[in-house]
Structure 1
Amino acid sequence: DSVREVYHEAGIRYRDWTAAVVILWALAIMFRFVALGTHSFEGYILAGFGMATIMVMRFFAFRGR
């Protein structure tokens, strides 16, 4: 029990990346609609792949919480 009460200023610090992930996700969604509007099939596929990648990153990032 005494080990759990130990505090040290050089302990592990975490950063909250939620805002960055949400912004990247929104940009991927926006790019997907732009690619759809410009009839760019390659851009549409690339944006879909980007959205899937961000969703997987989000899953593993918030799994540890």
Structure 2
Amino acid sequence: MSTSTLTPLVVLLLVLVGAMIIGAIVYLSHRHPRLSQPLNNGGAWAAVLVAAVALVLAAR
């Protein structure tokens, strides 16, 4: 596998794992409301994921 083929696969893996982590954070926040508001927490981590993907794509 060349680097040009591997990079999109790594980005896809990052997005899928990030989506799972964000979902877990939202679920945990929903089950325990005193921790924080679920949408705010999920939105903040989604922004972190988008920034990480942007860095990977910019470095390409």
TM-score normalised by the chain length of structure 2 = 0.51
Paired residue for 1:53, among 41, 48, 53? 48
Q: Structure 1 residues 55 and 40, CA, compared in 2 at 3 Å: closer, same or farther?
A: farther
Structure 2, unaligned runs of 5 or more:
none
Q: Does 1:22 align with 2:26?
A: no
TM-score normalised by the chain length of structure 1 = 0.48
Structure number with greater Rg is: 1
Taking only aligned residues, the RMSD between alpha carbons, in angstroms, comes to: 2.9
Q: Which residue of 1 aligns with 2:29?
A: 35
Number of residue equivalences? 53
Runs (4+) of structure 1 moved beyond 6 Å? none
Higher helix share: 2
Q: Percent of pairs identical after alignment?
A: 8
Structure 1, unaligned runs of 5 or more:
1-12
